[in-house]
Amino acid sequence: MALTRTRKQELIEEYQNGLAAAPHAFLVSFKGITVPQASELRSRVRERGGHYRVVKNTLALIAVDGKGLAHLRDQFQGPTAVAYTNDDAVGLAKALADFKKDVPIVEFKGGVVDGRPIAGADVESLAKLPSRHELIGKIVFLLQSPISRLARGLAAIPRQLVVVLDQIARRDVG
């Protein structure tokens, strides 16, 4: 069934508001995966706070013209889906890489991270990095460690003073 001009314009607007506006996006070739596998991929991407959208290449190219994904014009060939997020690029890359382990037929065509294009092979490298939440946790731990040591040191001073005064009192009594 052919798309009407109105429906094409609606799709272009949806693409512009979603995937073209996202700072992090990955192009995926899904040729050969089954419908249940596609549903599984969608749910994994959603769990990581992302969106997964099968696109019409010609309409997607119109929508991304002048945006970050425009760098990947050559990759919009064949069956193409775009996984995108506004938040955590690493988390989304992890979801895609984990799915690729289960379904090796999926291919990464390329992507954009913070507006910069990356190759398809770099998506798996990105997935090996710690996620944003893990990095924040590590930073909090590193900042908390010296503060807690300082607090323990400051608490030890009055405790040691009490011990010394107690020993002096026992020596005077005895």
pLDDT tens by residue, 93-143: 999 999 999 888 999 998 889 888 898 888 888 888 887 778 888 888 877
pTM (two decimals): 0.72
Domain ranges for the chain, please list them: 5-129, 130-174
3-class SS of residue 65: coil
For 45, the token pair is 């991407």
Burial class (CB in 10 A: 0-12, 13-18, 19+), 110: buried
Q: Which DSSP category does 30 fall into?
A: -
Given a cut of 90, whether residue 46 has pLDDT beyond it is yes
More confident residue, 132 or 10: 10
| CA dist., res. 75 & res. 93, Å (int) | 18
SS3 for 93-148 is HHHHHHHHHHCCCCEEEEEEECCEEEEHHHHHHHHCCCCHHHHHHHHHHHHHHHHH
Rg for the chain, CA atoms, rounded = 27
H/E segment holding residue 51? strand 51-55
Q: Are 18 and 53 in contact (CB under 8 A)?
A: yes
- pLDDT tens sequence across 67-84: 767 778 888 888 889 999
- End-to-end CA gap in the chain: 103
* Yes or no: domain 5-129 corresponds to CATH 3.40.30.10: no
